[in-house]
Structure 1
């Protein structure tokens, strides 16, 4: 149940950010859910490989190169999902930063709800 809820919250964040940011477009709710699933899969399988192969650049830039990797993940999702459009690298960079912030805020709400259920 929890992974499904995380996918739905990520899709909600994608829809909100697509309405706020210029250069990002999502066709609808189904496309946003597909984008959330694709981003989750890319983060699970592709991101660790990118981090491993770019480890020297990540170390030299004190971890700031991870922002570039996140933007590349968003651009890959753009290529894989038809109803999702990103216009350029800097739009993907800003989208990935804001998506991370939104997801961490939404997921922290999940943790607080889980603590109140356990007590």
Structure 2
């Protein structure tokens, strides 16, 4: 049940990011749910591999490179979803990843309580 609530809240966070950035386009709530689902799958499968492969640079940047990894997962999500989920530029993906990480921190605190 918590996973489903987290999925919906992450979709709402993506919709908020879509509202804040003109260069991010999400076609609707169903696409946001799909993006949230794909992001959760990528965070379980792909992200740990990327973290291990980039561990030296992550240590050198004191963990800030994790935002780049989150941006990469957002770009992979865009590739998988196609025209319904568009991020125009990697810089926008980095900013969206930073904001999404902050929102996800609050979401996780809400779900745990």
Larger Rg: 1
Counterpart of 1:48 in structure 2 is 48
1:30 and 1:80 map into 2 onto residues whose CA distance is: 15
Gap runs ≥5 in structure 2: none
Within a 5 Å distance, the mapping from 1:32-43 to structure 2 comes to 32-43=32-43
Stretches of 4+ moved more than 2 A in 1?
none
CA distance in 2, matches of 1:62, 1:107: 23
RMSD: 1.0
**What is the aligned partner in structure 1 of residue 97 from structure 2?**
96
Q: Deviations over 1:40-99 (max 9, x none)?
A: 011110000001111111122221111111111111111111210000111000111111
How many pairs are equivalent? 112
Q: Displacement of 1:110 after TM fit?
A: 2.1
Structure 1 gaps, min length 5 = 113-119
Aligned pairs for 1:1-119 (under 5 A) are 1-82=1-82, 83-112=84-113
TM-score by length of 2: 0.94
Query: Deviation of residue 21 (structure 1)?
Result: 1.1
Cα deviation 1:7-45 (Å, max 9, x = unaligned) = 000001111110111211100010000000000011110
